[in-house]
A = this chain, B = another copy of it.
Amino acid sequence: MKLHGYFRSSASYRVRIALNLKGLTVEHLPHHLRKGEQRAPDYLKLNPQGLVPTLIDDQGDVLTQSLAVIEWLDETHPTPPLLPADPLKRARVRAFAMAIACDTHPVQNLKVLARLRQLGLPEEQVTAWAAWANQDGLEACEALIAHETGPFCFGDAPTLADLCLVPQLANARRFGVAVEKFPRLMTAEAATKSLKAFADAAPDRQPDAE
């Protein structure tokens, strides 16, 4: 399989963790987002949104959207599972993941921040916007798992929730959010530190890292 991505893209980071947890090796095809390589005509044919990641499976099929890719991986390579078996628990894990993947990350991604700059906002207001989006999202995430058994977001093994949380915390720190205010999220992140699958997926471990 081939993964079109970018070392610092948190959506690519989610998929890298999933692939590692499933024990799957892929060829990495980096696209430098700050240089706009995700808007190249050949890439847009694969991913009309001009976003990373895009996964190409062994049959050459094209898969986009990190959460859809991870659900597909979980359906086609079920061990270890990234979602619980019980429907209600699955819904809770997905809701946490989507609080990040729908309501936090897209509000602070490169495209939105570039648009704010185009509107004439000074750099400190652009950074403050990104910090606000992260702060707001993580505050909700902390509440969503406050009563869940740990140490991971949901129980004693990583799920789709942890795959979304760890990359988002990296973004939040980059924008200056004091993430240590979120004790339950910190517990979950600490649990992932012991897993090679998470460590190997980190931005600074990728071939295109700067």
Residues of A within 8 A of B (CB): 48-51, 57, 61, 63-65, 67-69, 71-72, 75-76, 87-88, 90-92, 94-95, 98-99, 101-103, 105-107, 112, 115, 119, 121, 125, 129, 132, 139-140, 143-144
Contacts and interface: CB of A to CB of B under 8 A. Distances in A.
A103 B67 CA distance: 12
A49 B140 contact: yes
Among all A-B residue pairs, the 6 with the closest Cβ atoms: A48-B143, A68-B94, A65-B95, A72-B91, A68-B95, A49-B140
Contacts of A112: 107
A121 B129 CA distance: 14
Contacts of A98: 65, 67-68, 101-102
A20 to B, nearest CB: 19
Contacts of A63: 88, 91-92, 95
Contact of A65 (B99, B107, B115, B125): B99
Contacts of A106: 102-103, 106-107
Contacts of A50: 140
Contact of A102 (B87, B102, B129, B144): B102
Contact of A115 (B61, B94, B132, B140): B132
Given A103-B106, A119-B121, A75 B87 contact: yes
Given A63-B95, A67-B94, A107-B112, 15 more contacts: A48-B144, A49-B140, A61-B88, A63-B92, A64-B99, A65-B95, A67-B102, A68-B94, A69-B91, A71-B94, A75-B90, A98-B101, A106-B106, A119-B121, A119-B129
A164 to B, nearest CB: 11
